[in-house]
Chains A and B, each alone.
Chain A
Amino acid sequence: MALDPKRPQKEIKYEEMRIYSDEELRNYTEEELKNFKIKHDIPDLDELEKGPWPSFVADAKREALHRRKLAPDRMLIERDVVEDMLGQLQLSFDEGETHWKHGGIVGVFGYGGGVIGRYSDVPEKYPSIAHFHTIRVNQTGGKFYDTNFLKSLCDLWEYRGSGLLNMHGSTGDIIFLGTFTEQLEPIFFELTHELDQDLGGSGSNLRTPSECMGKSRCEWACIDTMDMSYELTNYYQDELHRPAFPYKFKFKFDGCPNGCVASIARADMSFIGTWRDDIRVDQEAVKAYIGGEIIPNGGAHKGRDWGKFDIQKEVIELCPTQCMWMEGGKLQIDNKECTRCMHCLSVMPRALRPGTDTGVSILCGAKAPILEGAQMSTLIVPFMKAEPPYDNIKEFIEKVWEWWMEEGKNRERLGELIQRYSLQKFLEVIGLPPAPQMVKAPRSNPYIFWKEEDVPGGWTRDIKEYRARHKR
C-alpha cells in the first residue's frame, strides 16, 4: 500500500537546507587523522579503539578533527565540544563516577518532551560541554530516509550542535548528542518548519512509536506496521508531546512473531502480527527443500557445510508444540496447536507462509528493571484485526491508559501495575475473558480464579442436604 499522508507533504528545498560544501565536510586526510591527538589525555579511551570492533572513540576523534579544521564562524557552539566530551569520559573512567548531571528546565516551547537536559558537573575543566543537551528526533517509518534529508539533518546538527549523533536510540529516535540551551529553539524551528520533522518523546509520555519495516520489504509481515505506527503517532500527538502519564509508555509494532523490533521485550504495549487461519504450505517446495534443491533458512547459514538438510531434525523436531509430521511424503501441520513461533516458516520460507486471515496479538507490560526487575510482555489479546483506522485498537489502548493513569503510582510502568494488582484484575478492567493462550505454562501463572457470582449457589451450601448424600 502506498503511503497516504495525513496532511499535505511539505516540499523540502534541500539545496537551501544544506550548510556545508563537500570540501568542508571532507576537510582532513587519513594521514592527518593518524597523527591527530585531542587536547586531553585519554589512555583508556584509546584502548577502546583497539580490537576488531567499530569504536565510538574512533568516530568521535574524526569529528573532533573535522571541527578543528572548520572555520570558526561555521559552528555555533564550541569547537572543542567533542574533545571535552572524551576528556570528561576519561575522568569518569579514572574516578568510577559519572560527571553528567541531568534534569532542569530545558525544552522547546509547548513540548514536554523531546529534549533532555544534560550538564557537566565539572564545567570549569570542560567548558565546551557545560551544557550537553540531547534532542530526540522522531525517526521515519521503517527507518527509510532520503539521503538529502540525512545530509540536511547532519549539517544542521554540525552547525548548531556537537555533530555527534546516534542512529538510532533504543526507543527508535535519532539522538542528537550535545548542544547548548540557546540552540534548542532554533534547532526545533529548523526541524519542524523547514525539514517538516517532529521531535520524539521523552519523559512521562508516549514515547516515539517504532516498528519493523513490515510490508515495505518483508514477505512475513501480517500487518502493515509502518501504517499502524504512522497512524497512532499522529493520532496520539498530544500524548507524545504533553506528558501526563505516571511514567513512560512505549508502543512497538512487529509484523510477525520473528519480532525484529523486539516489541515483546521493550514495549509496554507490544503489537505482533499473526494469523488465525492455517499456514500456507507449498508441498512441491517442501520436497525441493528435502531434495536439497532449495537452500534452507534463505541461505542464511550457508557459510559452513552443515550437511544435508534434514526436515525431521531441523524443522519437525524443533517445533515447540510438536504439531508437525510427514505423511505420505507431505508435510502435515495441526494448525490449532501451532503457536506461531515462526521457526518452520523461517527455515523454509519458500514452502511455508503465514495464513491470510491476519491481525495482531497484543501483549502488555515489558520493561527494563526500574521499580521491579525486567520483564517481557504478557499476552493479553490473542488476536485482533488491524485495519485502518484501527478503531478497535485505539479503543483497547485507551482503556488500558485510563486504568493506568487512574491507578498507576508515580514512576510505575504498566507492567508493574499489572503485577501489583494481578493479571486477573487487569483483564477485568479491559473487559477480556481469560483464555488459555494467556497462560505461559499450566499451573505456573494461574490467574483465572472463580468468583462467588460465577459459581451456582455461591459459597454457601446446605450442609444437611450435602450430608444426606455424603456420610461423614
Chain B
Amino acid sequence: MEDIKKAILEFASDSKKSKFYFKDMEKAVQKLLPDAKSREIKKAATELVNEGTLIYFSTGSSTMYGLKGRGITEDPE
C-alpha cells in the first residue's frame, strides 16, 4: 500500500497536468508496480484523499484527482 501511495505521489507531482483521471494515474502506477490492482490503487488514492494529500476535482459529470495545492485553484474565485 505504501509503495502504491508513493507511486501515486510521484506521478502526481511529475505529471504535466495538475489534474488527472483515475485511469491515467492507474496506468502510471502500474508502470512502476505491475502487480498493483486497480482496487488497491483506488484504496491508496482514497487514503491519500483522507490524509489531505490528494484532492478530488469534480465537474459534476466526471471526477479527477489532483495534488493538493498544485496548479488547481482551490477556490475558483
| Chain B neighbourhood of A210, CB < 8 A | none
Pick from B23, B41, B46, B49: contact of A410, CB under 8 Å = B23
Bound-state Cα–Cα, A104 to B76, Å = 6
Contact A243 B22 (CB under 8 A): yes
| B4 interface hit (Cβ, 8 Å) | no
> Is B72 interfacial (CB 8 A cutoff)?
yes
Known: A204-B22, A244-B38, A405-B38. A103 touches B57 (CB 8 A): yes
A202 at the interface (CB under 8 A from B): yes
Q: Which residue of A lies closest to B50 (CB)?
A: A110
Question: Shortest beta-carbon distance, B21 to chain A, in Å?
Answer: 4
Q: Give the residues in chain A near B34, CB-CB below 8 Å.
A: none
Q: Are A105 and B55 in contact (CB under 8 A)?
A: yes
User: In the complex, what distance in Å separates the CA atom of A134 from the CA atom of B58?
Assistant: 12
Contact of A107 among B58, B61, B62 (CB under 8 A): B58
* A160 located at the interface, meaning its Cβ lies under 8 Å from any Cβ of chain B in the complex: no
CB-CB nearest in chain A for B76: A104
* In the complex, A73 has a CB within 8 A of chain B: no
Check A103–B59 contact: CB distance below 8 A.
yes
- 8 A Cβ contacts from A173-206 to B: 181, 202-205
- B31 CB to nearest A CB, Å: 15
Question: Which chain A residues border B58 with CB–CB below 8 Å?
Answer: 103, 106-107, 112-113, 115-117, 202-203, 243
Bound complex: CA of A334 vs CA of B41, how far in Å? 53
Question: Given A243, A245, A405, which contacts B56 in the complex, CB threshold below 8 Å?
Answer: A243
A244 near B60 with CB under 8 A, answer no
Q: What chain B residues lie within 8 Å of A246 (beta carbons)?
A: 21-23
Question: In this assembly, does A101 line the interface, its C-beta being within 8 Å of a C-beta of chain B?
Answer: yes
Q: Is A247 an interface residue (CB 8 A)?
A: yes
**Interchain CB contact under 8 A, A101 and B76:** yes
Q: How far is the CB of B56 from chain A (nearest CB, A)?
A: 4
- A411, B75: Cβ atoms closer than 8 Å: no
Q: Looking at the assembled complex, report how far the CB atom of A181 sits from the nearest CB atom of chain B, in whole angstroms.
A: 7
The residue of chain A having its C-beta at the shortest distance from the C-beta of B42 within the complex is A244
A residues within 8 A CB of B62? 203-204, 247-248, 410-411
Per the 8 Å Cβ criterion, residues 247-287 of A in contact with B are 247-248
In the complex, A215 has a CB within 8 A of chain B:
no
Closest beta carbon of chain B to A136's beta carbon, Å: 10
A330 interfacial by beta-carbon distance below 8 Å: no
Q: Of B38, B41, B46, B60, which is within 8 A of A117 by CB? A: B60
Q: Is the interface of A mostly helix, strand, loop or mixed?
A: loop
Kindly supply a per-residue 1/0 record for chain A positions 127-166, scoring 1 wherever the CB is within 8 Å of any chain B CB and 0 otherwise.
Answer: 0001000100000000000000000000000000000000
Nearest CB in chain A to that of B25: its residue: A244
Q: List residues of chain B with CB within 8 A of the CB of A408.
A: 23
With beta carbons under 8 angstroms apart, the residue of A112, A115, A204, A405 that contacts B49 is: A112
A406 engages B38 (CB within 8 Å): yes
The verdict on A74 contacting chain B, using a C-beta distance below 8 Å, is no
A383: min CB distance to chain B, Å: 30
A238: chain B residues at CB < 8 Å are: 46
Q: Contacts A244-B22, A245-B22 given; indicate if A205 touches B63 (C-beta within 8 A).
A: yes
Query: Is B77's CB within 8 Å of the partner chain A?
Result: yes
Kindly report which residue of chain A lies nearest to residue B41, judged by CB atoms.
A244
Known: A203-B61, A205-B63, A245-B22. A105 touches B38 (CB 8 A): no
Q: How far does the Cβ of B46 sit from chain A's closest Cβ, in whole Å? A: 5
In the complex, the answer to whether B60 meets A242 with C-beta atoms within 8 Å is: no
C-alpha spacing A279/B2, complex, angstroms: 58
Q: Judging by beta carbons under 8 Å apart, are B56 and A112 in contact?
A: yes
- Given A245-B22, A246-B23, do A112 and B59 touch, yes or no (CB 8 Å)? no
The residue that A103 contacts in the complex, of B24, B38, B76, with Cβ under 8 A, is B76
* Chain B residue contacts of A203, Cβ below 8 A: 56, 58-63
Cβ–Cβ < 8 Å partners of A242 in chain B: 42, 45-46, 49
Flag whether A119 is at the interface (Cβ < 8 A): yes
List A residues 200-235 near B (Cβ within 8 Å): 202-205
Q: Are B63 and A243 in contact (CB under 8 A)?
A: yes
A189 to chain B, nearest CB (A): 17
Using a CB–CB cutoff of 8 Å, the interface residues on chain A facing chain B are 101-107, 110-113, 115-117, 119, 123, 130, 134, 181, 202-205, 238, 242-248, 405-406, 408-411
Please name 27 pairs of A and B residues whose Cβ atoms are closer than 8 Å in the assembled complex, sorted by A. Answer: A103-B59, A104-B57, A104-B76, A105-B55, A105-B57, A107-B58, A110-B49, A112-B49, A116-B58, A117-B58, A117-B76, A134-B60, A203-B56, A203-B59, A203-B60, A203-B61, A203-B62, A205-B63, A242-B45, A242-B46, A243-B63, A244-B22, A246-B21, A246-B23, A248-B61, A410-B21, A410-B23
Please name the 7 residue pairs, one residue from A and one from B, whose CB atoms are nearest each other, closest first: A203-B63, A116-B60, A243-B63, A244-B42, A112-B56, A204-B63, A203-B58
Given contacts A110-B50, A123-B77, A409-B23, 11 further A-B contacts (CB under 8 A): A103-B57, A112-B56, A116-B59, A119-B76, A203-B58, A204-B21, A205-B63, A238-B46, A244-B42, A246-B21, A247-B61
